[in-house]
Amino acid sequence: MLVQAPNVGMMRGKRDRAIISVLVGCGLRRSEVAELKLEDIQQRDERWVILDL
């Protein structure tokens, strides 16, 4: 599976897995993921949400 492809033993792999998970899980375009800022992501009721896309 694509999400399992990155090597999470390295920081780059962790980053790549997070990006792929957001792309697939949220159905975002790559340009939308590229423009995400930390303040766009919040945890609510034990779930992570992306605000105002």
Residue 13 CA: distances (Å) to CA of 23, 26, 38, 39, 52? 15, 19, 19, 22, 27
**Verdict on whether the full-model pTM lies above 0.85:** no
pLDDT of residue 6: 78
What is the tens place of the pLDDT at every residue in 3-51?
677 787 888 888 888 888 888 888 899 899 999 998 999 999 998 888 8
In this prediction, residue 25 carries a pLDDT of 86
Percent of residues in the chain assigned helix, strand, coil, to nearest 5: 50, 15, 35
Q: What is the pLDDT of residue 18?
A: 86
